[in-house]
Amino acid sequence: MVHDPAGLGFETRAIHAGQQPDPRTGSVIVPIYQTSTYAQDGVGGTREGDYEYSRTANPTRTALEEALAALEGARHTLAFASGMAATDAVLRTTLRPGDHLVLGNDVYGGTFRLIDKVLTQWGVDYSVAHLSDLDEVRAAMRPETKLVWCESPTNPLLGIADIAALAQVAHVGGARLVVDNTFATPYLQTPIELGADIVVHSTTKYLGGHSDVVGGAVVTNSDELREQLFFLRNSAGAVPGAFDAWLTLRGLKTLAVRMERHCDNAERVVEALTRHPKVSRVYYPGLAEHPGHDVATKQMRRFGGMVSFDHADGERAALDAAAGTKLFILAESLGGVESLIEHPGRMTHASVAGSLLQVPAQLVRLSVGIEDARDLIADLEQALG
Ligand SMILES: *Cc1c(COP(=O)(O)O)cnc(C)c1O
């Protein structure tokens, strides 16, 4: 799938790219370089590529960046303190006062809040569009549009955008395409290869994979963008600590096997929900009747671990179901080994209420973990009553 000059498979890159044994000790695992500063050869004697100060660079972070770049099939990755720090860096690197961006109608709530409440204060304007409708995207674009911001699959409605087609529309309009690849991960989808200019991650989710670390990353093939992002990150300082970078790198090693199980379990949960009388609609791109199924089949390896559904009896029943599971933990976030359940309207997407983004009140979102699928299905069935 990914072009890789060394011809190595995804699983091999996840474990070896950027992660050679430590040159000093032979440590098989990249050490946690828990240091703020580095001894220099002489005054002003630092050579290009040497470490000086950990806001600028840290070897544990470098290993994470090289590994993630290899998985995305891209030249550059910069790690950030959170997904939102990564998002903020992309927005502030690529947009200036007077510029405009187009974003998906069900973009991550925190991304919408940052654009709607913060970026607009700095003279940036935005439009919302259904990214699955290319005509709507074209109509939303203006001469001053510099970015199209895409998630696919989207959060929480699991909508699918045709990344290759969207890249063309963005480029014809003189804009860059950013893909937030948090839901799919590079195991399922590599947007840079499909024509995206920038990939953003919340590594807090599947890449870290164990709900024990917050982090983010930006991926690009552009040397120029990488320089600008590096300059901003070093100036503003939103870097992850060495331990957080190490935890994320540890998570990356098992990404392929975890994603396979997330997908297996999600498919079985979808099957059970589809025939449940209290479920009026299941949102999953792997379903043949999903409007984005063909595009998803074309651009994704499998369909991921996120599943949403409408409760047939409305909002109150959806809230009760979300609060009524015993194994699925009621919590925000996603992508960890444990299954989570939430009510987007009241939780992750509460900050978009009253805006142009509409999340159904009866919607429940699942992050299907890697437990025994039979236990997960039994838990959902008892919660749905
Ligand atoms: C969680 C998430 C973010 C934000 O990442 P943080 O690590 O929480 O800052 C951005 N986009 C998507 C799709 C997410 O799920």
Helix runs in 6-108, H state only: 10-16, 59-72, 83-94
Query: Is-catalytic flag, 180?
Result: yes
State pLDDT tens for residues 25-64: 999 999 999 999 999 888 876 666 689 999 999 999 999 9
> Rounded to the nearest whole angstrom, what is the distance from the C-alpha of residue 8 to the centroid of ligand 1?
29
- 3 state SS for 73-95: CCCEEEEECCHHHHHHHHHHHHC
Specify whether 117 is catalytic: no
Residues in the ligand 1 pocket, defined by CB under 6 Å:
82-84, 108, 110-111, 151, 155, 180, 182-183, 202, 204-205, 214, 216
Task: Give the position of tokens 């699918």.
Answer: 160
Residues 33, 108, 187, 283: which is the catalytic one?
A: 108
Q: CA dist 216 to 65, 83, 145, Å?
A: 11, 4, 25
Residue 375: active-site member: no
pLDDT in tens, 95-112: 999 999 999 988 888 999
| Phi, psi of 112, rounded to the nearest 5 degrees | -60, -45
**How far, in Å, CA of 298 to CA of 313, rounded?**
35
Strand order, beta sheet including 216-220 = 76-80, 216-220, 198-202, 176-180, 145-151, 100-104, 125-129
Residues 6+ away with beta carbon under 8 Å from 236: 89
pLDDT less than 50: residues of the chain = 1-3
Atom of ligand 1 nearest to the CA of 215: 7
CATH of 10-253, one of 3.40.50.720, 2.60.120.200, 3.30.70.980, 3.40.640.10: 3.40.640.10
Concatenated DSSP letters for 351-375? GGTTSS----TTEEEEE--SS-HHH
Q: Where are the beta strands (DSSP E) in the chain?
A: 76-80, 100-104, 125-129, 145-151, 176-180, 198-202, 216-220, 279-283, 306-311, 329-330, 340-342, 363-367
Express each pLDDT in 282-330 by its tens digit: 999 999 999 999 999 999 999 999 999 999 999 999 999 999 999 999 9
Domain ranges of the chain: 10-253, 257-384
CATH number for the region 257-384 comes to 3.90.1150.10
Dist. CA 333–CA 367, nearest whole Å: 8
pTM of the model: 0.95
**Nearest protein CA to atom 7 of ligand 1, as residue:** 83
Of the candidates 88, 106, 180, 310, the residue annotated as catalytic is 180
Tell how far CA 243 is from the center of its chain: 21
Q: Count of CB atoms within 10 A of residue 104's CB?
A: 27
